[in-house]
Amino acid sequence: MKKPLVLVLVCSMVSLVADATTIEMKVYGMVCGFCAQGIEKSLRKNPATSDVTVSLENKLVAVQTRDGQDIPDAVLKKAIVDAGYDVKSISRTRRSMTEIRAEVAQAQK
């Protein structure tokens, strides 16, 4: 009896990740616009990346993926660590880049 329930839970979790289109990361060590540009440029090279935004003030890097695609955490972390920064957390959300940019703009006021 438990096997079908486990299968349903696993399938639900997989579909949740597949639907997620925004990856938000807390990144420490960014201090200037050149830091932000370097991270953005590095992440845009990934073919699954649709959009990137970086907020120095919020220590936030957000990546929007193309429909139906994902970028593994290890790949994201490697790109940021190789650029000289420290990744504190990675999470997938359903927030749009418009929402994230609005929140960043509000925090800057």
pLDDT digits (tens, 9 = 90+) for 70-97: 999 999 999 999 999 999 999 999 999 9
| pTM for this prediction | 0.79
Whether residue 41 lies inside any domain: the answer is: yes
Q: For residue 11, count other CB atoms closer than 10 A to its CB.
A: 10
Whether residue 7 lies inside any domain: the answer is: no
Residue 94's domain comprises 20-108
Whether residue 43 lies inside any domain: the answer is: yes
Whether residue 78 lies inside any domain: the answer is: yes
Whether residue 15 lies inside any domain: the answer is: no
Give Cβ neighbours of residue 44 (< 8 Å, ≥ 6 apart): 52
| CATH of residue 40 | 3.30.70.100
* Number of compact structural domains in the chain: 1
- Cβ atoms of residues 39 and 6 within 8 Å: no
Whether residue 9 lies inside any domain: the answer is: no
Q: Give the chain's length.
A: 109
Whether residue 40 lies inside any domain: the answer is: yes
